[in-house]
């Protein structure tokens, strides 16, 4: 039991959320809760939780998209609670950045055991990143899902936004074509490099001062892309 370890529960079903929060608080954890993706991301940005417990069936955004956004700036462990039982759905959640997956209904002992196991990874596993990412004239507010350039709101598609977060959340690292395709489109698109080239081009048009000579999204020939802030 450690009250300094904050757990954020993002679950739209009020009865399940209340039950999970009650169980965790009875074990001495500090717990915050949210019933929607938008509220959950604001809470995550403000609290920087030690552990995120996430339902996938949120009313305003699919849980996988929430997870990808969260992973762009935080390495805190994520436990998915979901009624989705198919293996493909579990694989998709793990590929999107989940650390563990617990199907509903679940028992209290198993829930607590999985929470303890994830928290045992210690401070090195939890994210200390900021939900605000800034480079050049561009400012990404991950909590508000807003991107601005020179103070003006940029209108990005969902795919463009996910791709930007995947890149900007890993500054200096080469992300392979497969890694980006899996993170942004899911495992089924992992071999389609044409998707990636098209959307990288779109993104450069919107964020680079000179898209023909990009400073931020660099091509690593034969490998993938590198983001330089």
Distance CA 166, CA 176 (A): 11
Give the CA count within 13 Å in the CB-facing half-sphere of 177. 15
User: What is the length of the chain?
Assistant: 229
Output the pLDDT for position 127.
45
Give per-residue pLDDT as tens, 51-89.
999 999 999 888 998 998 888 888 899 999 999 889 989
pLDDT at 124 over 50: no
pLDDT at 105 over 50: yes
Average pLDDT over residues 103-124: 88
Task: Report, in angstroms and rounded to the nearest whole number, the Rg of the chain calculated over CA atoms.
Answer: 18
Give per-residue pLDDT as tens, 131-160.
888 888 999 988 788 899 999 999 999 889
Per the CB < 8 A criterion, the answer to whether 32 and 43 are in contact is yes
- Computed over every residue of the chain, the mean pLDDT equals 88
Average pLDDT over residues 203-210: 94
Stated pTM of the model: 0.74
Contacts of 90 (CB under 8 A, 6+ apart): 84, 101
């Amino acid at each position: 039991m450690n009250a300094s370890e904050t757990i954020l529960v993002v679950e739209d079903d009020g009865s399940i959320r209340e039950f999970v929060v009650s169980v965790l608080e009875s074990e001495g954890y500090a717990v915050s809760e949210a019933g929607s993706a938008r509220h959950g991301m604001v809470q995550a940005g403000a609290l920087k939780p030690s552990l995120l417990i996430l339902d996938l069936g949120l009313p305003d955004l699919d849980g996988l998209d929430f997870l990808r956004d969260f992973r762009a700036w935080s390495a805190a462990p994520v436990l998915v609670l979901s009624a989705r039982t198919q293996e493909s759905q579990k694989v998709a959640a793990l590929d999107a950045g989940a650390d563990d997956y617990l199907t509903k209904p679940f028992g209290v002992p198993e829930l607590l055991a999985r929470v303890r196991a994830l928290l045992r990874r210690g401070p090195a596993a939890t994210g200390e990143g900021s939900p605000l990412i800034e480079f050049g004239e561009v400012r990404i507010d991950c909590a508000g899902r807003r991107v601005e350039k020179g103070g003006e709101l940029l209108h990005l598609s969902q795919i463009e936004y996910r791709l930007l977060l995947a890149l900007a959340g890993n500054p200096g690292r080469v992300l392979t074509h497969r890694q980006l395709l899996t993170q942004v489109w899911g495992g089924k698109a992992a071999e389609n490099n044409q998707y990636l080239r098209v959307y990288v081009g779109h993104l450069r048009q919107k964020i680079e001062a000179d898209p023909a000579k990009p400073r931020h999204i660099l091509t690593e020939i034969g490998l993938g892309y590198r983001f330089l802030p």
